[in-house]
Structure 1
């Protein structure tokens, strides 16, 4: 009977496993700070010398995606709303293709460090400044959520002080990010991916053994209505359907993979454009693996507690604590494995927060410091980059306090990306895909898209959609309590559609609340992107957009696509092709041509379009 279950606690071996993960992460940062003394410039520190290869960058992209929001939030999402979340597998395919074939070619050939440099080149410094400020605000808010999530798990499963864990997360991330730069971030991510996969595997394997096999888990999920893969309702007000996930999810995640500095900074640090594209496609396979793991964990969670929901029974205080609760339930007889899972959640946080800190430092140095102080030496910029890492680490810790008020973590995180990332995606798409777009149209379009996204996003927090829009599935507690007189205490409850602390209660709902504010949170990004592009085009036409002469390097061209096949042509020329002396594996990355070809004609920089 569910009521007899006794949940375990942390033992010494759990702390050893957990501390070991933190120690190795810190050591990697120290190694790249002292053993890798080649980092003399801000570009070395922020871009890893632009000599990275596809596999470690792909693992790093994966680790960033696998934040504690994914580790804790996605299984809880599947437990509450069903396995329709697995449709994101289709979304990820579209996201990677768009990022690799539309945005990457333009960013790579322009030799940029910050993606917002593109906005200055394509439009003007004011558009660039707006994009930079929006990115900084978005990233600090999101990172606050990512720091708070594992602290919540630690508090639930170990009794660690909640805010002590928050500060510890931020301090460790800031330490190795400041010490070792992007190289430390990427190689720490590679290590942490292994920890995360091991954590997921331990839960899935033990849940299968405990529940009597995968078939039992799937049967329980089917009987509980959790295998709800195909919902083709076109209504944009429904929270998760095939269309909201594929269309809205594609816009939401393309704003992350396609134009967000945290991700773009990694793949443009590769030594050739071919390696950069390969990193994205290898990452796609890893994303599918992670999605399968998190969905299986969610179904295992339901199979274990289908007759006694721990949240309804007040055994946990928030849905994001369900996974740690399951871990201490089924892994309590295996010392070290609960620690491995918490290390899994914590690894996701370390990787995401460190990449955010590194990206914030890069954007601040390239978009704010350099334009204001053009005479600063590279050595000075290097020290400023390190100082910025410390500053943003402290700011992200502070923002974790706000995250504690934002309710369900997964939806809160994606909502922030949608509200801010959508208009930014629209701005970059306007510049890359619309030749007649000008700076006036871009600025007005960005402001319009951001205003509308903010309106619907904040409205949805204040007046959450009703259950018929969010479609929560029933949760039962009849297995939690029983008496000897033959009477079962049985309750069936529905999950609340929102746990936002900002929700306004006891107010008569209007059509605006039931329609506009009930828009699926995945469409926040879609609305912002499309409105930015539409308004930008509309304003550009009458303000001289068709009369401007645009450098073709700022646009996506036919040559960018055809150059995908250059690697096959190169094989015939390999004996004659001697670009320049290289070291450490060499680089074809145009961002370092000015260092390695300082005595070569500037036309050599056209190598940026070469694979």
Structure 2
């Protein structure tokens, strides 16, 4: 099989050069990076479209380019159910977490805990944040990635991501088009996949021990990726850098389309892999040593007659790496400066903080290998639970949050590490059969149809503890779910046991009810509802844009702000009268 040509190296080098030039451009354009806000937040002047593409690029790594097609090749298209998960994740992030972070105007997501004196876990939380995926961290030592992150800041990262997501789509498209030509049409690819059992979209098995089903992907995947999109620094930092909350929300929703496009491209590549190699699996026949080598193998197999195109695909995989790692390096700089330096060195000027941010971006290159040792699925769930506790449960205190976070972290690590020591049996992972009947090789110990995982997971059943076949076999997508629920549940219980009164709980419930019943309307605005008319007026004589809260007048079908405050006061007064110790004297 032919290797790389000169043109392949030229294409790859051009991708690196353009990425570096973008960093240089944003380092010196206009007034450059004079403050830490300019460097870390792009001056909070970003528009929705580039941020949306940057979110998509950061979400998709080299694992997406190389791993997702191999996943579909081995396990089928049930992975495509993530399209539903992505929609739920974006909805939760845009409607629950984004309004809070954007309203606070913070740089680090962990500044959320600072205003609440009883909820200070900033340093501890910061050390749990990695944001690095395993493959991306290995390649993070790339000089180009560190170069443009250090010079150009967030603006360079965002616009480089825009360029790199285009490279990723181009690489996928080249493979899909060529595979369709080789197989004489997309129809044959789909037909081969159907008869090979790869179009297994709808598996509604409720068993949480099964690796991928509709429920594990939708429920577990939503918790896992909300931890990334909702509270992870590298993603939140992007959309709160937008110039308005509208642009921030639009960036998330437009990004959803990008996620669907990338997922569809990866899925088609996976089905093309199966259609081309359905009778001669390269892994079983020892032509590749790992499943993540299947896509490069396919590219060199079907595109070797097109100089430069294999280089384009490698550039697309590397673009996924650069986008993920650059996001993480910039996020690492933001968290370090805002949480660990600014609070303790208040005399530092913005110019000095900007230089420190650049230095942290450079040092992030060397710290990435260590950060890669943590798996986001284990720590992301407890962190999501911590933010959910702080945002949704105003009565939670610092003790409850700390104990809840530690408990969720411990449980997630327990199940996560246990699953690595005692991997699930093949009947839990459901690998689909692979054939070598059409291979032109001779091997005495190679059967016509071989299940790859029967030899990979060879732990004798006698050595497996009882937990290995139930608790440790839990789908990896539920790791974050378990961590989130444990953190929230323990946090609420400990908060109630360590000083939070029932009155605080009642206040929280009433506040949530008021938020649910009220509507945000622009000022001024009139609405016609049948025979009744509604008019929005400023509260306390202030325009909502100047800090006033809009309220509804002459609306008999719902409470006004004043009426709800009166109802809340009555409920709390009734509680005090019934349950106060003095009431029973």
Query: TM-score, normalising length from structure 2?
Result: 0.85
Q: Tell me the CA shift for residue 397 of structure 1.
A: 4.8
Which residue is equivalent to 1:346? Answer: 318
Which residue is equivalent to 1:540? Answer: 495
Which residue is equivalent to 1:450? Answer: 409
- For residues 380 and 371 of structure 1, the distance between their equivalents in structure 2, rounded to whole angstroms, comes to 14
- Listed one character per residue, the Cα deviations across residues 399-426 of structure 1 (whole Å, up to 9, x for unaligned) are 66x6xxxxxxxxxx9xx22200000000
Inter-CA distance 444–397: structure 2 relative to 1 (3 Å threshold): closer
Which residue is equivalent to 1:130? Answer: 124
- Listed one character per residue, the Cα deviations across residues 497-555 of structure 1 (whole Å, up to 9, x for unaligned) are 8969xx97786212211000000000000000001011011111122223669999xx9
Inter-CA distance 254–488: structure 2 relative to 1 (3 Å threshold): closer
Q: Secondary structure at the match of 1:121?
A: coil
> What is the 5 A alignment of 1:217-366?
217-366=189-338
Which residue is equivalent to 1:44? Answer: 38
1:529 to 479, 484, 491: 484
Q: Secondary structure at the match of 1:232?
A: coil
Which residue is equivalent to 1:62? Answer: 56
Matched, 1:420 2:420: no
Query: TM-score, normalising length from structure 1?
Result: 0.82
Do the aligned residues in 2 keep the contact of 1:472 with 1:497 (CA within 8 Å)?
A: no
Which residue is equivalent to 2:468? Answer: 513
Q: Secondary structure at the match of 1:332?
A: coil
Which residue is equivalent to 2:24? Answer: 30
Q: Which runs of 5+ in 1 are unaligned?
A: 1-6, 149-165, 403-412, 571-600
- For residues 371 and 448 of structure 2, the distance between their equivalents in structure 1, rounded to whole angstroms, comes to 38
Do the aligned residues in 2 keep the contact of 1:32 with 1:180 (CA within 8 Å)?
A: yes
> What is the 5 A alignment of 1:121-160?
121-122=115-116, 124=118, 126-135=120-129, 138-139=130-131, 142-148=132-138
Do the aligned residues in 1 keep the contact of 2:133 with 2:376 (CA within 8 Å)?
A: no
- For residues 51 and 248 of structure 1, the distance between their equivalents in structure 2, rounded to whole angstroms, comes to 35
- For residues 404 and 450 of structure 2, the distance between their equivalents in structure 1, rounded to whole angstroms, comes to 44
Q: Secondary structure at the match of 2:160?
A: helix
2:70 to 63, 70, 76: 76
Which residue is equivalent to 2:569? Answer: none
Q: Tell me the CA shift for residue 145 of structure 1.
A: 2.5
- For residues 411 and 88 of structure 2, the distance between their equivalents in structure 1, rounded to whole angstroms, comes to 25
- For residues 358 and 517 of structure 2, the distance between their equivalents in structure 1, rounded to whole angstroms, comes to 37
Which residue is equivalent to 2:364? Answer: 392
Q: Secondary structure at the match of 2:471?
A: coil
- For residues 480 and 541 of structure 1, the distance between their equivalents in structure 2, rounded to whole angstroms, comes to 66
Inter-CA distance 423–192: structure 2 relative to 1 (3 Å threshold): same
Matched, 1:182 2:138: no
Inter-CA distance 210–561: structure 2 relative to 1 (3 Å threshold): farther
Q: Secondary structure at the match of 2:342?
A: helix
Do the aligned residues in 2 keep the contact of 1:72 with 1:323 (CA within 8 Å)?
A: yes
Do the aligned residues in 2 keep the contact of 1:61 with 1:283 (CA within 8 Å)?
A: yes
Which residue is equivalent to 1:492? Answer: 449
- Cα RMSD of the aligned pairs, angstroms, is 2.8
- Listed one character per residue, the Cα deviations across residues 156-198 of structure 1 (whole Å, up to 9, x for unaligned) are xxxxxxxxxx47x532111100000000000111111111111
> What is the 5 A alignment of 1:201-216?
201-216=173-188
- Listed one character per residue, the Cα deviations across residues 96-133 of structure 1 (whole Å, up to 9, x for unaligned) are 00000000000111111000000222355741222111
Which residue is equivalent to 1:97? Answer: 91
Comparing 115-124 with 294-303, greater Cα deviation is found at 115-124
- For residues 549 and 217 of structure 1, the distance between their equivalents in structure 2, rounded to whole angstroms, comes to 57
Which residue is equivalent to 2:567? Answer: none
Q: Secondary structure at the match of 2:450?
A: strand
1:473 to 432, 435, 449: 432
Do the aligned residues in 2 keep the contact of 1:218 with 1:299 (CA within 8 Å)?
A: yes
Do the aligned residues in 2 keep the contact of 1:425 with 1:529 (CA within 8 Å)?
A: yes
Inter-CA distance 357–124: structure 2 relative to 1 (3 Å threshold): farther
- Structure scoring higher RCO (CA < 8 A, sep ≥ 6) equals 1
Do the aligned residues in 2 keep the contact of 1:470 with 1:497 (CA within 8 Å)?
A: no
- For residues 516 and 298 of structure 2, the distance between their equivalents in structure 1, rounded to whole angstroms, comes to 49
User: Structure 1 residue runs of 4+, over 3 Å off?
Assistant: 122-126, 397-400, 487-490, 497-500, 503-507, 546-552, 555-570, 603-609
- Listed one character per residue, the Cα deviations across residues 260-294 of structure 1 (whole Å, up to 9, x for unaligned) are 00000000000000000000000001111111111
- For residues 528 and 293 of structure 1, the distance between their equivalents in structure 2, rounded to whole angstroms, comes to 32
Which residue is equivalent to 1:405? Answer: none
- For residues 447 and 388 of structure 1, the distance between their equivalents in structure 2, rounded to whole angstroms, comes to 28
> What is the 5 A alignment of 1:377-388?
377-388=349-360
- For residues 512 and 22 of structure 2, the distance between their equivalents in structure 1, rounded to whole angstroms, comes to 38
Q: Which runs of 5+ in 2 are unaligned?
A: 527-541, 551-585
- For residues 176 and 608 of structure 1, the distance between their equivalents in structure 2, rounded to whole angstroms, comes to 43
Which residue is equivalent to 2:110? Answer: 116
Inter-CA distance 607–100: structure 2 relative to 1 (3 Å threshold): farther
When Rg is computed on C-alpha atoms for both structures, the one with the higher figure is 2
Inter-CA distance 556–8: structure 2 relative to 1 (3 Å threshold): farther
- For residues 120 and 370 of structure 1, the distance between their equivalents in structure 2, rounded to whole angstroms, comes to 13
- Listed one character per residue, the Cα deviations across residues 122-163 of structure 1 (whole Å, up to 9, x for unaligned) are 35574122211111xx33xx3442143xxxxxxxxxxxxxxx
